[in-house]
A and B are shown apart, each in its own frame.
Chain A
Amino acid sequence: MITLKNVTKSFDNKAVLSDIDLEIKNGSVYGIAGSNGAGKSTLLRLIAGIYKPDKGEITADKAPVWENPAVKGRIAFVPEEPYFPSVVSIKSSAESYKLLYPSFDFDKCLTLAMDSGLDYRKPVSSFSKGMKRQAALILALSQNADYLFFDETFDGLDPVMRTRFKNLINEEVISRGATAVVTSHSLRELEDVCDELVILHNGSVVYENAVDMIKSSYFKVQIAYDGPKREEDFEGLEILDKSKNNSVFELIIKGGRAEVTEKLRATEPALLDIMPLSLEEFFVYELKTQGYTAEPVKGGLR
């Protein structure tokens, strides 16, 4: 388990992350979503032991990560822009990895490359963007690390590549109980990959829960009445957002599906439509409550 306690990080006196408390459970796939500049990459680099926190502590299974080779040997980090220790070929890079990571599995790397249809003797520079990412992923996975960190690795991949990536990571999670953390600026990239979700905004954790929990406890409701609507009808419901179009109310409600349905039916609506909230919608509503909005602000688009 990776634990962050009061972690703060600033660049040039500007706080990028402030007072982050987070627990990343072993064996799960964490998604870290957030707007641009929310501090996702910084957070990932902190838990990978690349950056040193200004304040607070980061531990993996109770051992500090910073300057701790024993912990860092269990971490694999795939940056947004893939980096290869050698551009000559995947094989040459793998030789470097073999020298640098005691746990690196050379044969696994070559096998994975072959299975993915990558020629491990070809120069990495001749690869397409997706192939480069795939090569970086394969090298990282061959470290046999317990913690896998991916910085925007899924963003902008084609569906075939995405599926391949997901399966590669899932395989690590199933076979070795690995823990993965994936960042993205788009929830759509994360929702089918992760089982846990962290939303970062302005350097703070805004939300943290299981992905399925969101889908089964937030609902988008369209409701309309024949007569005038009585305000007290919605009492006892946790309404996050409310808007009215003609006579139709649009509500975002938090709660169990059965309970919400029952309560709303009791108000005898003329129209009732209950839909689980998509993650994207959830993201927008959640950030809206934090003052970050997709609506045009005075004078133009944000």
Chain B
Amino acid sequence: MKKNIWSKGLYLEGLRRLRGLMITFSALTIVFVVAFSVILRIVGGLYGRGTSGLYLTWPYLIFVFIGAPAFAFKTFSFLNKRGSSDFFHALPYTRSCIFLSLLTSLITGIAAVTAISGAAIFTAYAFSGAGADTVREVAIFTFCSFVSSLFTASIVVLSSSVSGSVFTELVLSGVILIFPQVITYVFNNFVYSSVYTASGGGQYNLAGSMNVPDFNNLPLRLFLSYVGGSAEDMTEPFPLIYSAVVCVLYLVGAYLLFRFRKSETAERSAPSLKVQAVFRVILACAFSFIGTLELIRGIIDGSYVYNYLPTVIILYTIAAIAYFIFELISTKGKRNIFKALPVFGIVIALNIAFAGLFYGVHSYEYSFGTKPEQVNSITVYAYNSYSGSVKSLTDTAYCACLREGYKINGEDTVNDICNNIAYANEHGSRSSAGNYMRFNIKSGPMTKQRSLNILTSLETKIKAEIKQSEKYKKYLKLIPSQIEDKDPYEFVGISLNEKDVKKNAYGYEKIEKVLYALRAEVKDADADEWESYLKSNGAENDVYVQYYTSFGYLKIPLSETYTPNAYSAAMEALEKN
């Protein structure tokens, strides 16, 4: 059984074929690392890292985008020549065995070069006496580079499996590497940029979840990280998992295509005329889809025609040229251009369908959360940058509720929120004066986030509802500790007496004593009574416990009558000073 899916001989032959490339790329890395180390040592100061990531890991980028694809290309290049294709297909192995054996050679080759490069880079950094952070960063980059290399290699393997010519293989590889990512990015971006309430806060993913990076494609992230970003970006787990999964899917696809590939495809662009048509259509769609997105967004947004039309025309022209030039080059026949003409209708049809898809998704997003009858629930959040006028603990408790998220119960409030979102989507912001709020709206199976500046009247309604809640009362009576912790108050200091607000002016223990007393006294107090006490601001001798939080500051008045223990503890601290 084992003999049918893997052969040591084929595996070794695969490695034999990669030997030259392996030596070349390993040597290149070592030469680069040594030369660059010497230069950096002479120049000095720049040794560790520059603005563009770790200097010495640059060979990884070259390997990901040139080395690994070249390895994959070399491994499966036999499919592109009739002689070599016949030779391999005449071998006494099943298709599965040929593919899997050569794939393992390819992976071994990539792993070997990555390992050698990694060793060289680590050694160089070890000599420079780099810190643990640098070592960690190099390790992350090494791992990401390995996964990225497999990713780019898998794309080449996939296009090798389906084509029989170098030109078509290169075109397909390029399209597969770049366009799915670019088109989904543009699609996503356009949908959300034309839905006002969705576009406000950071990037969103179609799934409605936040914090999913824009570029999940690891090689592209690696590229962006070298060219302009920071190495830290690479620690995101999602792109790594995403890329690994996509890589595996590409390889599974390649395996199936290889297994059922017609061996006579060698030296031909595609195994059949139909598949050749599919290639053309994919290539044309890669360019025209972006044009279509631009066009339909322009129409939806009601932009001036001359704002978007030139881009659209350019992209459509590129698509048409690519379509016919590809046919001309890959089949080397002028007559084929005319034969290819009817299928161009499919490109147009697909673009119309794509425009429809975009319009559908846009409409869904546009109307999401605008119809109260379709909304299951709304949870309101304050933004991190919430900077309302928080002057007392009552506001702070309100903010704490918003930061944790408060589920709106009032039907009237829900209606109001939905109307606000609908209005904002249509007209842009409703109020620039109101506070910026975020709503997690559950409608059907989807939960999506919307955000906008809300009218003061709506905020009053929300505030009124929140003040009735148990959560509000809980936060109201919560006397935070003075040490920074996970407490939603995030306070940074404490002072007694408004006149002296320096941090830790009275010593940690004394203030803790005041807080301890205060907590005990508030614990049993009636929430409404406590709130009205806070509002009365009836401090005696201007004694306050004062917090500085990320929202602003807050002060809790201390009085001999309402909080006698805390008051006396505070007085004690003040006197002794």
A85 touches B83 (CB 8 A): no
Q: Is the interface of A mostly helix, strand, loop or mixed?
A: loop
List residues of chain A with CB within 8 A of the CB of B262.
Answer: 51-52
Given A69-B94, A72-B90, A83-B87, A96 and B263 contact (CB-CB distance below 8 Å):
no
- Report the separation of the CA atoms of residues A95 and B15 in the bound assembly, to the nearest whole angstrom: 13
Given A69-B97, A79-B83, A100 and B264 contact (CB-CB distance below 8 Å):
no
List residues of chain B with CB within 8 A of the CB of A67.
Answer: 94-95
B90 touches A49 (CB 8 A): yes
List residues of chain A with CB within 8 A of the CB of B86.
Answer: 45, 48, 50, 77, 79, 83
B91 touches A96 (CB 8 A): no
Task: Count A interface residues, CB 8 Å.
Answer: 29
Residue of B12, B86, B93 with most partner-chain A CB within 10 A: B86
Q: Contacting B83 at CB < 8 Å: which of A51, A83, A100?
A: A83
Q: Contacting A99 at CB < 8 Å: which of B13, B84, B272, B273?
A: B13
Is the interface on chain B under 10, 10 to 19, 20 to 34, or 35 or more residues? 20 to 34
Interface: B442 (CB within 8 A): no
- Report the separation of the CA atoms of residues A83 and B91 in the bound assembly, to the nearest whole angstrom: 13
Render B1-26 as a binary contact track against A, CB cut-off 8 A, 1 for contact: 00110000110110010000000000
- Report the separation of the CA atoms of residues A82 and B272 in the bound assembly, to the nearest whole angstrom: 26
* B89 nearest CB neighbor, chain A only: A50
* B260 nearest CB neighbor, chain A only: A52
Q: Contacting A51 at CB < 8 Å: which of B9, B92, B97, B263?
A: B263
B273 touches A12 (CB 8 A): yes
Within 8 A of B (CB), among A8-23: 11-12
- How many A-B pairs have beta carbons closer than 8 Å: the answer is 73
Within 8 A of A (CB), among B170-203: none
List residues of chain A with CB within 8 A of the CB of B12.
Answer: 99
Interface: A73 (CB within 8 A): yes
Interface: A285 (CB within 8 A): no
Given A51-B264, A69-B97, A83 and B84 contact (CB-CB distance below 8 Å):
yes
B83 touches A69 (CB 8 A): no
Within 8 A of B (CB), among A64-111: 67, 69-73, 75, 77, 79, 81-83, 85-86, 95-96, 98-102
Q: Whole-angstrom distance from the CB of B148 to the nearest CB of chain A? A: 31
Within 8 A of B (CB), among A46-65: 48-52
- Report the separation of the CA atoms of residues A192 and B517 in the bound assembly, to the nearest whole angstrom: 116
Q: Whole-angstrom distance from the CB of A8 to the nearest CB of chain B? A: 14
Render B89-132 as a binary contact track against A, CB cut-off 8 A, 1 for contact: 11111110100000000000000000000000000000000000
- Report the separation of the CA atoms of residues A80 and B539 in the bound assembly, to the nearest whole angstrom: 104
A69 touches B13 (CB 8 A): no
Q: Whole-angstrom distance from the CB of A68 to the nearest CB of chain B? A: 8
B90 touches A52 (CB 8 A): no
- Report the separation of the CA atoms of residues A208 and B416 in the bound assembly, to the nearest whole angstrom: 91
List residues of chain B with CB within 8 A of the CB of A52.
Answer: 262-263
Q: Contacting B13 at CB < 8 Å: which of A49, A83, A85?
A: A85
List residues of chain A with CB within 8 A of the CB of B91.
Answer: 72, 100-101
- Report the separation of the CA atoms of residues A259 and B264 in the bound assembly, to the nearest whole angstrom: 50
B94 touches A100 (CB 8 A): no
List residues of chain B with CB within 8 A of the CB of A71.
Answer: 92
Given A52-B263, A99-B12, A81 and B83 contact (CB-CB distance below 8 Å):
yes
B16 touches A100 (CB 8 A): no
- Report the separation of the CA atoms of residues A95 and B263 in the bound assembly, to the nearest whole angstrom: 25
A82 touches B83 (CB 8 A): yes
- Report the separation of the CA atoms of residues A45 and B90 in the bound assembly, to the nearest whole angstrom: 8
Given A69-B4, A69-B97, A100-B13, A85 and B89 contact (CB-CB distance below 8 Å):
no
Q: Whole-angstrom distance from the CB of A168 to the nearest CB of chain B? A: 19
Q: Whole-angstrom distance from the CB of B165 to the nearest CB of chain A? A: 15
- Report the separation of the CA atoms of residues A70 and B3 in the bound assembly, to the nearest whole angstrom: 11
- Report the separation of the CA atoms of residues A45 and B97 in the bound assembly, to the nearest whole angstrom: 20
List residues of chain A with CB within 8 A of the CB of B3.
Answer: 69
- Report the separation of the CA atoms of residues A83 and B89 in the bound assembly, to the nearest whole angstrom: 13
List residues of chain B with CB within 8 A of the CB of A12.
Answer: 272-273
Q: Whole-angstrom distance from the CB of B87 to the nearest CB of chain A? A: 5
Q: Contacting A11 at CB < 8 Å: which of B84, B92, B93, B264?
A: B264
Q: Whole-angstrom distance from the CB of B35 to the nearest CB of chain A? A: 31
Report B's interface with A, CB cutoff 8 A: 3-4, 9-10, 12-13, 16, 81-84, 86-87, 89-95, 97, 262-264, 272-273
What 4 A-B pairs have minimum CB-CB distances, sorted nearest first?
Answer: A83-B83, A73-B92, A99-B9, A72-B92
Q: List 13 A-B contacts (CB under 8 A).
A: A45-B263, A50-B263, A51-B262, A51-B263, A51-B264, A75-B90, A79-B87, A81-B82, A81-B83, A86-B16, A99-B13, A100-B13, A102-B92
Q: Known pairs A12-B272, A69-B3, A100-B91. 10 more at Cβ < 8 A?
A: A11-B264, A45-B263, A49-B90, A51-B262, A69-B92, A75-B92, A77-B87, A81-B82, A100-B92, A101-B92
